[in-house]
Each structure stands twice: as C-alpha cells, then as structure tokens.
Structure 1
Amino acid sequence: MGIPEVVDIIVAGGGPAGCALAGRLAKADPNLQVLLIEAGPNNKDDPMVFTPGVYPRNMRILDSDKARFYYDSNPSTHLRGRKSIVPCAQVLGGGSSINFQMYTRASASDWDDFKMPGWSAKDLLPIMKRIENYQKPANNDTHGFDGPIAISNGGWIAPIAQDFLRAAGAVGIPTTDDLQDLDTAHAAEIWAKWINKDTGRRSDAASGYVHPVMAAQTNLHLLCNSKASRVIFEGTKAVGVAFVNVKPGHNKDNKETVVKARKMVVLTSGTLGTPQILERSGIGGKDVLDKAGVKTLVDLPGVGKQYQDHYTTFSVFRARQSEPTIDDWLRGDPATHERLTLQYQLTKSGPLASNGIDAGFKMRPTEKELEEMGPAFRKYWDSYFKDKPDKPLMFGSIVNGHFGDHSLVPPGKYFSMFQYLEYPFSRGSIHIQSANPYEDPIFDSGFLNNAEADIPPIRWSYKKVREIARRMDAYRGELTSCHPHFHPASPAAAEDVDLETAREILGPLALTNGIHMGTWSRPAKHEPNKVREDIVYTKEDDEAIDNWVRDHVETTWHSLGTCAMKPRENEGVLDARLNVYGTTNLKVGDLSLCPDNLGTNTYSSALLCGEKCADLIVEELGLTIQNPHAPKARYTMA
C-alpha cells in the first residue's frame, strides 16, 4: 500500500523519540492518520538488530549500514590536531536498534534544571513508568511494569561482574540494587540492559511502539529510506514535509517529494538532523542562512548551537586465562560463533542474549579527590554539582572483553573499563552549508574546548577504574597500548603481563617469542592476595593522562541540545510545549530539545521526550492516552 499524499500528522525521524511519538498518537485515535518518515532501513525482524550480542559490529565504520558518520569539519586544537567522529543511527528505531543496550536514567535534578513548566522530574515520572516493562525486582516506586520497552539483566551475566563490584567496594564505591532510582549518584550495580529476558531480544523503540500498532491498525504509515529535507510552510504555518529518497543505489539528485499534514509536523530527526531540517526550511540564525543561500523565514539564532555529548575513554586490562570472556566471539573464532549462535537460537540465552556490560557505577568525588583535581575545576563543581547530590560526575562500566581490533593485540583474555563524563561543559555546533540535503554540514563537536572543566574528571576517573581493575581477582596486567604513555621509570607506568601468564597464553615458547613478547613491557608478577596501595601520580604522570585523553576521547553517541527548549531571548528554539518559536503547527520532539545535559545513556531520555511530546499533542487535539501511572488530570496520559 502506498503512502497517502495527505495525512494528519507527519513525524520526521524514526529514532526512539519519533517511534514513541508516532506509535502513541496512532494508538490514541485509529482515525488519526500518522506518517513516520525514516532515512534508514526498516529494522523489522532483522537479526543484526534484535540479537543483543552482535551490536559491536555497529562500531565498525566500514561495515555499518545502519549509521551515518559526522566528522569534525576541521582538526581540533583541543584534541591535539585530531578530528572527532560522531556516529548517528540511520535505521528505524534509531540508536535503540544499534546501541550498547545499557539501561540508565537521568537524575531527578537533570529534569528540574530544565526550569520549564511541565518538565520537572515529578511531572515526568508517570511517563517514565509508562515506558517500562521492568523485569527486575524493584524496591521503589519509580519503575513501570506494563510498558512497551523491556528492561532486564539479559540472558547472561559474566562472573567478572561480581569481581568488579567487590573491587569497586574496596575503593569506596558501595554496591546497590537500583542505581537508576533517579536519586542515587555514588554506587555500583549489576547494570540492567534494554533486553527482554523472555524473548532474548533487544528492546528497540520500533518493536515496542511502531510494529505492534501497524500490525493492528491501518492509520500508522511508515516511509523508510527517505530523508526529510525541509518543512513546507504556508506563511509561518507548517503544512507538510519535503523528502528525498536515500535508498542505496539511488542518485543524490533525486527530486523532492512533498506530503502534506492537516494538523501538525513534528521533527524527531535527532540532535544532528533536526537543526539541519529547520535551517533548510528557513528557520535559524540569519547569518547562517544567508551564507547557505536559504531565505530566512524565522530568525532563530539558537538553531544548531549548544551541541552536547558525553565523552568516553576506555582502558584495557588482561584477564586470567580461565575467565569466561567474549574475546573469542569478538575475534571471530568460528567454533565460538557456531556454539554461541546455536545456544541463542535454541534457548534465547547466553552471551548473545547480553551486551557483555554487566556491571557499572555512578561516582562523585571525595573532598580529597576534588582537591587533587585542582582549583580550576572547583568552580565548576561548586556551581553545578555541589548542591545536587543526585548528580554523578562520572559513569563507569566493565566490558567482558576487548572491543578493539584483536589482530592488533597479543592473544589472550581481556576486560575493558569505560569511563563516561556525563556533564561536559564543552559545547559545539552544527549548521548547513546549503539547501542541498545531501551536502555535509559544518560540524564542530566542541570536544574538550572547555578543558579546565572536562579533563580533570576524566583524569580522576581513569585513576579510579585502574585501582578497581588492579584489585580484581581476574586482573593479570594491563594492555599498555590502551593506557597513557607514562615514563617507564614512573611508578604509574602500566604493568603488563607476568611471565607465568605469558606462558599460559603462548605456551613454552613464550620466553623466546620475540614478536609477541616485544609488545609487552614492565612485567608485573600477579599476586591475587596482595593488598594493593593506590598508585601515586606525579605532575608529569597527570600530563600523560591528559594527553592520552585528548588523543583518545570519543563520543558516546549521546548527542543533544541543538534546538533548546528555553526562552527565545536566550537563544531558545522551542517553548515548553515544544512549539518552534515564530511558527505554528510545528514541534520538535527529540533530544535536541534539551537545554542542559542529562546524566544517562540517552535512550531512556529520547523515549521520554517522544512520549512527552505525544502527551502535549493529544491534549491539544482533545484525545486520550491511557496511563495507569498518571495522576488525576483533565486528560489521561499513557
């Protein structure tokens, strides 16, 4: 069946927010004609989407067919001449179809900091619960159990997760049973996952909101492999969307096709896509539009500004040979692939029903650690974190293997530690160069352009996770290529594998195997019962860490903030009801609306933005979304 030329509501962008929004609207009224436009392919029943354990493939740029990659337009002096790369999902379900499946939620103060009516944590809690099919025991009233998106511990938890929790406790990070209660900011837990424990499948947004509605109703229309180019206006009233076909094999000179909207257009093309659509439509800073040759319809200088992300670095450690890791799977061992695939197909369990990230922490520094970070960082701490005890400064997690290229490292078992800076003070931007939807934008990630605020926490977190690793029973040294380049004589120099473990890995020829042994340095005898003292770092060691951060810091795929919901005079783009200033019948419902950062893996927040936008629209249309978690109100939320 073809796509109608006129519908009631067009949702432009099929990521988590767009799927939640379109599905909720279509279900609210079977007579409401809703069109969802997505630039990528349909994800329905795609084993590369629904099988949780295959997601590392999405990190491989050359192999990925479900992501678009944005590159910094210019080398960054803040990254020592490096360009950053920010992947953006281009598949139905967006990031929920290809992400790491790590379930976290923002702190209550994150939403309160928006300072917009209807957007406090208390206001949003019923929607948070409406989203969730929480498949873990709960000891608080912040989770929901009958929503469309499942959360569980997955189909396998590696033994190293408990090893990690014990070692985290040894360095002052206690264990809790629910780190996602909106308040706890310093603890470790078994990390939950966006995986349905009953089916063993990934809990992506399209499978939760779009496919079930389309199977039961005829009023939700889906247009994939089509990129929204611009909004069509009559005056300043949005009346439709122009799109182009981006299916592989089609030329980039395809002409636009227009579909009309009787009631509303909502942009949900993400933090990187939505501002480009607005600017191509004549909505943005006049200086930007003039340079791009686009006539200004509404002068909104905030469009495309205040780009934010979360920053990650990861360090890799050697694990004992007896440790069950996913390294053989990651290195492509045929027998392991056959065994794990068969286990998953027959039982929906095992490593392929997991993401290999079974434990993690949120963390705030002690007073002593704050002093060690230096006085320059203190002002940021005092102004932003000090009086908000629910805000963690850093996240961290353990990965049960090495996600890098195994052909470049010695054989063996590994575990990795990821550190995430949740509230960077650095900011970037994205703007179009022309009205051509195929031309690359001018993108500045802004990574580390406020180094005095953003580097000290990452440096501190690196030291912290290193101390956790050194206290784990599985620890057998460090992969030196994945650590800072300390002076060899420094006590901070990375400890590589001891000769006993080298023999374990390589056999009796380990001592004479110069090829492999040449990659190992500063051997360290493993002593599992030794009480380890914290490494003492010098000023030169700190500089080595800082340079390593600049050389290796990466995106977490958590982009937000380029169409901020705040007063227009403060470079705001949206009001509290998500209307684009200066227009009618046009809203934005994705993570670009965030006026400040959110300390979380952002899938949960993207769903929340889409659901909140649905509530606003059904209220305006006089419809109803059923929600058992909602307080009594003039209309019922779902």
Structure 2
Amino acid sequence: MRALSTLFRVGQSLALICGTSHVVAASQQARGAGTGNSLDGRTYDYVIVGGGTSGLVVANRLTEDRRTTVLVIERGYFDNKPEAIVPWYGNLLDVGVIDFVPSAPNPKLGNAVSSVAVASVVGGGTVVNGMGYIRGSKADYDSWEELGNPGWGWRGLYPYFRKGTTFDPPTPAAVSQWNITWLPEAFGRGPLHLKIPSFQYPDIATFWRALRNQPGVAVPRGANVGNGPGAYWTPSTIDGRTETRATARSAYYDPVYAQRPNLHLVTGQTATEILFRPTSQGDLTAKGIRIVSRADNQTRNVYAKKEVILAAGSVMTPHLLQVSGIGPASVLGAANITVKKDLAGVGANYQDHATTMTRYSLSNQSFPNPDTIFLNATYNATVWAEYLSNKTGPIAGASATTLLLLSLPHLLNNSFSTAASLSSRLLAQPASQYLPEIYSSKPSLLAGFKAQRAILARNFKTNDLSLVAHALLGNGFFPGPLLKPLSRGTLYLNPSDPHSPPIIQFNTLMNPIDGENIASMVRHGRRFFASPEFAPLGEITELVPGSQYQTDKEILDVLTGNADYLWPSLAHPSGTCAMMPLRLGGVVGPDLRVHGVKRLSVVDASVIPLIPGGALQATVYAVAEKAADLIRARG
C-alpha cells in the first residue's frame, strides 16, 4: 500500500509536465456551444449525442468542411488529470469518470448482480480503457457483410482502419532486444497514434519462447491485417511523440478545435429525448435533441438541419431510442412510453466479452515484473522518476502488448474433428432454447440469431476466427475473454422509471456451449503453462480455478461461484442497435440510418451485429471513420 500511495503522490505532479497539447483551455472548451439559455433553440447541421470515441471522430470529419456546423453533446466533462494522460494508468480504472450501470441478477452466475462501465468524459472509453489496439479477423467483418451489410466486410473497413492510425515504432534497441515485429502497411498517417512500448518485463522473453513452440499456433510478423488467431505483438493507444495516452479527444478534438469555429462541444448535458417532426404522411423524422443540464437541471432543445447522430454507446444509445418511443412495443408500453416506431431489435442482441480471470503462481519471477511496482517502494519511485525525466520505462506503457488469440480447434488441442462436432451440436439446438423470451415472440430476432449462428458454426471449425484472447503480462495473470459468445442479453427500460438507467440482462453462459468453451480455455491454459519453456519461472501453481477441478462442471462451478473469477462484462457492450436488415431484427441499415426513421443515424458500437475477436476500440474508430464518409456523402 505504501508503494501504491507513493505512485499516486508522484502522479499528481504529472499534470505539470504532460504538455499543453493535451489540455484545452476552459475558454475553448465552451466556445461556440454556449451554456445555459444561450444553447436553447439553437440549430446546427448535425447534432451528435456523445463526445466519446465515435462521436469525436465523426464530428472531426464532418467539420473538415468549414461550412458544416456540428454540435456534440456530452454528459461528462473534460478530464486533464494524470490518469487520463499517463499510459501506466491504463492498468487501473479511474472510476471518477465512469457511470456504472447495474445489471439484473445473472441466473448462471448465482444470480449475481454486476455492472457495465460507461465512460462519462470527453473522449469516452479511450480515456479509461486498457489502451490495447487490436482489430478483428477478416472473418469477423466479412460476417457483418454476410448479414446484409454491403461494404462492411474486411475489404470495406480496412481502408478506414488505416486512415485513422499512425504507428510510432519502438526504439531500435528494443526491437533488437525483444525481436518486436509489426507490419507498417497496416497503418496510415491518421490522427490516432499507436505504439508498441520499448520497455518490456524480462519474463516476456520466456513467454515468447513458449508461444513460438505452441502446436498449431501461428506467429505472424504483425497484427492488425485480419489474420485472426495467432501470437502477436500488438500496439497500444500511446502517442510516441509525447509518450502519453492517445485518446479520441487528443487525436480528433484537441488538434482541430481552436481552428474550427464550426465545431461545437457542450459538456455536462444529458440527452433525454430525441425530438421528431410530424409530417402529413405520418413519417417519423428526427429534428433535434432535448437535453438536461447537470449544473442547473434545466431542460433545453437543440436542433439539427440534416441529421441527429447517436454516438452514446451500446448502453445509452438504445436507452435514448427507447425513451424517445423507438423500440419493442411491449417494452415501451410497460414503461408507459408512447410508441412512435415498433422496432424489436432496439436493446436486443446484447453481446460482451465475458472474461475468466485465470491466475497462476510463478515461484521464480524475474526482477522487475509487473507486480514489482506495487510491492517495491524503491522501484516504484525510480520508475516514476524515470518517466518524469525521460518519458521512458514501465510508466510509458500500459497493459500487455503480447497477445495470444486462439480458435476453437486450438482450445480443443488442435482437433478439427472435435470442433466440427461442437459446431454440429450448435446447429442442432432449438434456436430459441437459450435466448431471451422476446426472441420467441419476434420472428425477426430469431431469424437474425439463426443467421449469426450459422456463420459462427461454420467459422468455429476453422482457424479463421478467434474465440478466446489472452493478454500476456509477463506474470501468472492469464485472463481469458470469450470473444464469440453464443448467449445474447437484453437492455430495456426500467418500467417503473424509464429515465433511470436501463435494465441490463447479460444472460452470461445462457447457452451451455459458452460454458464448454470456457472450460476448454482453462484446459488450454494448463497445457500452455506446462510447456517446458516455462521451467526458468520455477514451480507453477494454478490458483484460479485450481488444478484439482477437472470436469467441465467442476471448473464452471468454481468460476461461476465467485464474482472475482468470471466477469460477465469486459466493458465491451455491443450489438444493441444491430446493423442488419429488418427481417433479421436489425435496427440500422448499412447506411447506419435507423430503419423507418428519417434523419436519424447510429455510429457507435451498438451497430455491431457480431462482436469482433478483440477489444472494441479499434473497431469503433474504423466504424466511425466510415460512418463519417457515409453521412458526408448524403449531405
């Protein structure tokens, strides 16, 4: 604890040395949008709800045309604390800028109640996440196209992944010492800077020796070109020019705001309702947003000439649609909300990366290791001093940059026949058996899941799709996100108080095959840590779940019986306004406009129909870049 308190004490001085490029003056922050009654009744070309990842990307791109005016509405505020700037803080969680939305009891996790972390800050999740940048596989995005979205496959998205990013290489000495590899062609010259940190803990060399000898696991030269399963060096969202956290704010807002009087952002405002314009034909047309100030609780209206754009994320975007009368009629009726558009998919198709917190004890770790900074006050002070002086060392990095992505055959000891058998069993399930109740009453939702299931079952039999990820920190912590869940959750209004946080039902492990895959992941981890290459790390003891648990039931009983062992959410909610045709329960089309509603678009992670095999931020950046082009093209 003494070491940790030292860390925070030293950290408070960092705001003085982090550079003015990360701090927008207060006068600039409020310019244009105004405050109080001056905001009421104003009209802009576009009104964007949400100043997070996708909202700031779209606002930046639309205002490249100085004739186009954009207002961004953000519930949170600007955050200039060290936690928002210094890379190492990506190992922690700044709860001061996060709203935690509680879930309903989770039946398969002992009816435990959990929560989803929703960033409430300019820059959104990019200000508080673990900073890992990893794109999904080609198969991930090709499945989106197969679900009825032309142009959203790997070929359609790859140019946008490149457009938004710039790669800052590690030092030549680090490249030589660690044999760090990457593919320069995966990146362009975009606003978001990425870097593989030069500092690595010594035991990472042992992990890489083990990775290179894993049967069936590829070790490509670089990540982020759609290869899927394999062992990779992966970049973090770190700006190598300043060795600070790269965020949607620092990349897409701070550099342009002072030069663009057409770009307006207002903070501390909660969007409470989408405003619609009635027409004689009965069409539904979005015209603006009703907002409530967190400072004075006053309600004001702002208007859009061209479009209202929802970028509030997979939790708050469907919630805003529902309180505005767009969603399943049964859900809206139960909350006494007037139904303006009966759209079954709003709030369905909820997906997240449930994560198993597997852990091993290593008796002979090197010095230093990822735990040293917490346990050794002298080392703690030394590395902070190094960062303050030189912007080098462990404080210039965050979480792991070595990533292991595994397919289902990998988990099954490279047995393609066993993977094929599991795929057959998946397709043989009655489609509605392990789905939320609403799927039985809404044929379109059931049809959409069947289409998703067919794609997953086909890809499960191959090494094209990543089913599990392991971030390798260089110690015994071996977390395993389940990247391709079959279970589907829901997010609906609280019927007794519709404007309160929505009710989230994760339904984690509702489909038993998810549990089988988690048990297979635990067994793969045991084989991995039993590799002879780990001998230098001494005696290895499995702490979670524990080697004494062998059968699927025994493993899952332990994991589901302890809230610290299996998390239903990795703060990767997605899919709640899925980009699919109406006949498949979709909410938006490939143009990202809400079905049956004019001048209303969604551009955030809620449009993802099938969650990709990796952390979401890389995908959300690309979705937003493409969304900006789509919106700009239609004027």
Report the Cα distance in structure 2 between the residues aligned to 1:67 and 1:336, rounded to whole angstroms: 30
* SS of equivalent to 1:198: coil
Residue 597 in structure 1 maps to residue 611 in structure 2: yes
Aligned to 2:45: 8
Report the Cα distance in structure 1 between the residues aligned to 2:314 and 2:390, rounded to whole angstroms: 38
Report the Cα distance in structure 2 between the residues aligned to 1:613 and 1:356, rounded to whole angstroms: 30
Measured at CA, do residues 467 and 273 of structure 1 come closer, stay the same or move farther in structure 2, by a change above 3 Å? Answer: same
Measured at CA, do residues 588 and 435 of structure 1 come closer, stay the same or move farther in structure 2, by a change above 3 Å? Answer: farther
Residue 283 in structure 1 maps to residue 323 in structure 2: no
Instruction: Give the counterpart letter for 1:13 in structure 2.
Output: G
1:160 to 194, 199, 203: 203
Instruction: Give the counterpart letter for 1:89 in structure 2.
Output: A
Measured at CA, do residues 221 and 110 of structure 1 come closer, stay the same or move farther in structure 2, by a change above 3 Å? Answer: same
Report the Cα distance in structure 2 between the residues aligned to 1:305 and 1:260, rounded to whole angstroms: 29
Measured at CA, do residues 608 and 450 of structure 1 come closer, stay the same or move farther in structure 2, by a change above 3 Å? Answer: same
Contact 2:132 2:399 in 1 (8 A): no
The alpha-carbon deviation at position 606 of structure 1 amounts to 0.7
Report the Cα distance in structure 2 between the residues aligned to 1:32 and 1:255, rounded to whole angstroms: 28
Contact 1:574 1:588 in 2 (8 A): yes
Greater alpha carbon shift after TM alignment, 428-437 vs 592-601: 428-437
Instruction: Give the counterpart letter for 2:102 in structure 1.
Output: Y
Residue 617 in structure 1 maps to residue 631 in structure 2: yes
Residue 114 in structure 1 maps to residue 147 in structure 2: no
Contact 1:484 1:544 in 2 (8 A): no
Report the Cα distance in structure 2 between the residues aligned to 1:437 and 1:219, rounded to whole angstroms: 34
Instruction: Give the counterpart letter for 1:195 in structure 2.
Output: I
Contact 2:581 2:589 in 1 (8 A): yes
Aligned to 2:516: 456
Report the Cα distance in structure 2 between the residues aligned to 1:216 and 1:67, rounded to whole angstroms: 30
Report the Cα distance in structure 1 between the residues aligned to 2:556 and 2:477, rounded to whole angstroms: 19
Residue 348 in structure 1 maps to residue 394 in structure 2: no
Aligned to 1:49: 84
Aligned to 2:166: 133
Measured at CA, do residues 36 and 477 of structure 1 come closer, stay the same or move farther in structure 2, by a change above 3 Å? Answer: farther
1:447 to 508, 514, 523: 508
Aligned to 2:449: none
Residue 239 in structure 1 maps to residue 283 in structure 2: no
Aligned to 2:268: 225
Report the Cα distance in structure 2 between the residues aligned to 1:139 and 1:195, rounded to whole angstroms: 16
The alpha-carbon deviation at position 67 of structure 1 amounts to 1.2
Aligned to 1:467: 527
The alpha-carbon deviation at position 309 of structure 1 amounts to 0.8
Report the Cα distance in structure 2 between the residues aligned to 1:578 and 1:374, rounded to whole angstroms: 35
* SS of equivalent to 2:292: strand
Aligned to 1:201: 244
Report the Cα distance in structure 1 between the residues aligned to 2:143 and 2:277, rounded to whole angstroms: 36
Residue 587 in structure 1 maps to residue 630 in structure 2: no
TM-score when normalising by structure 2: 0.80
Measured at CA, do residues 234 and 219 of structure 1 come closer, stay the same or move farther in structure 2, by a change above 3 Å? Answer: same
Moved over 6 A (4+): 371-374
1:188 to 231, 247, 250: 231
The alpha-carbon deviation at position 82 of structure 1 amounts to 1.9
Aligned to 2:15: none
Greater alpha carbon shift after TM alignment, 194-203 vs 361-370: 361-370
Report the Cα distance in structure 1 between the residues aligned to 2:192 and 2:610, rounded to whole angstroms: 25
Aligned to 1:17: 54
Aligned to 1:98: 128
Normalized per residue, which structure has more helix?
2
Aligned to 1:83: 113
Aligned to 1:393: 467
Report the Cα distance in structure 1 between the residues aligned to 2:458 and 2:112, rounded to whole angstroms: 29
Residue 544 in structure 1 maps to residue 554 in structure 2: yes
Greater alpha carbon shift after TM alignment, 284-293 vs 382-391: 382-391
Unaligned runs of 5+ in 2: 1-30, 170-179, 279-283, 428-455
Greater alpha carbon shift after TM alignment, 235-244 vs 336-345: 336-345
The percent identity for this pair of structures is 27
The alpha-carbon deviation at position 256 of structure 1 amounts to 2.2
Residue 71 in structure 1 maps to residue 102 in structure 2: yes
Aligned to 1:30: 66
* SS of equivalent to 1:113: helix
The alpha-carbon deviation at position 32 of structure 1 amounts to 1.1
Greater alpha carbon shift after TM alignment, 312-321 vs 378-387: 378-387
The alpha-carbon deviation at position 466 of structure 1 amounts to 3.0
Q: 1:166-211: per-residue Cα shift (whole Å, max 9, x none)?
A: 11233323433213220242x2122321112231111111111111
Residue 328 in structure 1 maps to residue 341 in structure 2: no
* SS of equivalent to 1:230: strand
Count of residue pairs the alignment pairs up? 541
Report the Cα distance in structure 1 between the residues aligned to 2:461 and 2:370, rounded to whole angstroms: 41
**1:463-502 residue pairs with structure 2 within 5 A?**
463-471=523-531, 472-473=534-535, 475-477=537-539, 482-485=543-546, 492-493=547-548
Measured at CA, do residues 82 and 273 of structure 1 come closer, stay the same or move farther in structure 2, by a change above 3 Å? Answer: same
Report the Cα distance in structure 1 between the residues aligned to 2:354 and 2:289, rounded to whole angstroms: 34
Report the Cα distance in structure 2 between the residues aligned to 1:192 and 1:151, rounded to whole angstroms: 6
1:314 to 351, 357, 365: 357
The alpha-carbon deviation at position 146 of structure 1 amounts to 0.7
1:429 to 481, 490, 502: 490
Measured at CA, do residues 240 and 434 of structure 1 come closer, stay the same or move farther in structure 2, by a change above 3 Å? Answer: farther
* SS of equivalent to 1:65: helix
Greater alpha carbon shift after TM alignment, 441-450 vs 455-464: 455-464
The alpha-carbon deviation at position 306 of structure 1 amounts to 0.7
TM-score when normalising by structure 1: 0.80
Greater alpha carbon shift after TM alignment, 590-599 vs 155-164: 155-164
Contact 1:373 1:456 in 2 (8 A): no
Aligned to 1:177: 221
